[in-house]
Chains A and B, each alone.
Chain A
């Protein structure tokens, strides 16, 4: 158990809809990262937040957005969903002692029908 929690575990929704994925980092970790993993693309970095501020941005679509709240939990919002958005979405966190090591949550499996 990494200490990172993600909800929900599974999500099934229709094209055009909007969903919110939630992540709680390990206790004491200030950085949160979001990744998308699909079979053909591997693990793709989406975005990083550090202590509430956006720190780095990857290949995140404009239809996707994220934020980190004062209690350090983070949410990833996916809107106007398309079939191709079906994937595993992982959140990871890292802390000040070992800032380069990322600890991943169990993921949310999103299926868009």
Chain B
């Protein structure tokens, strides 16, 4: 069955640095991949969608890459701020399931 893995449960970085989160998947070739942000006790918030024929997508301080050969997506937050602290989830469609979510990486940006 398909598997989606996010590189670590938690990532701590200094304010101003670039945070890089990884999403790896196996046994599937999704047509697109999405990233969501989730704050504790709240619903996920859609951030970016990248399609399989797009190498990179940007939105303000966010950048997502999608490497279908490596079966990997990287999510970057540049000039990170304490307000960026949250859990970030990657997700993609799989079979009849509209979205399968990874377990997320909890990012803490330290001032």
Q: Is B79 among interface residues, defined by CB-CB distance under 8 A?
A: no
**Given A42-B101, A42-B103, A42-B104, A57 and B96 touching (CB < 8 A)?**
yes
Q: Which of the segments B13-21, B38-46, B62-70 contacts the partner chain?
A: B38-46
Q: Which of the segments A62-70, A74-82, A100-108 contacts the partner chain?
A: A100-108
Which DSSP category, helix, strand, loop or mixed, fits chain A's interface? strand
Contact B97 A101 (CB under 8 A): no
Contact A104 B43 (CB under 8 A): yes
Contact B46 A103 (CB under 8 A): yes
Contact A100 B43 (CB under 8 A): no
Contact A105 B43 (CB under 8 A): yes
Q: Write out, one digit per residue, whether chain A residues 53-96 have a CB within 8 A of any chain B CB (1) or not (0).
A: 00011100000000000000000000000000000101010000
Please, how many residues of chain A have a CB less than 8 angstroms from a CB on the other chain? Answer: 23
Q: Is A15 among interface residues, defined by CB-CB distance under 8 A?
A: no
Pick the contact of A45 from B42, B98, B104 — CB < 8 Å? B98
What is the CA–CA distance of A106 and B101 in the complex, to the nearest angstrom? 18
Minimum CB–CB distance from B103 to chain A (whole Å) comes to 4
Chain B, range 39-95, C-beta contacts under 8 Å to A? 41-46, 49, 89, 93
Contact A42 B34 (CB under 8 A): no
What is the CA–CA distance of A56 and B42 in the complex, to the nearest angstrom? 24
What is the CA–CA distance of A60 and B10 in the complex, to the nearest angstrom? 29
Q: How large is the interface on B (under 10, 10 to 19, 20 to 34, 35 or more residues)?
A: 20 to 34
Q: Is B28 among interface residues, defined by CB-CB distance under 8 A?
A: no
**Given A42-B103, A101-B46, A107 and B98 touching (CB < 8 A)?**
no
Pick the contact of A2 from B41, B43, B102 — CB < 8 Å? B43
Minimum CB–CB distance from B90 to chain A (whole Å) comes to 11
What is the CA–CA distance of A97 and B43 in the complex, to the nearest angstrom? 21
Q: What are the residues of chain B within 8 A of A2 when measuring CB–CB? A: 43, 45
Contact A90 B34 (CB under 8 A): no
Q: Is A43 among interface residues, defined by CB-CB distance under 8 A?
A: yes
What is the CA–CA distance of A79 and B44 in the complex, to the nearest angstrom? 26
Interface residues of A (CB under 8 A from B): 2, 4, 33, 42-45, 48, 56-58, 88, 90, 92, 100-107, 109
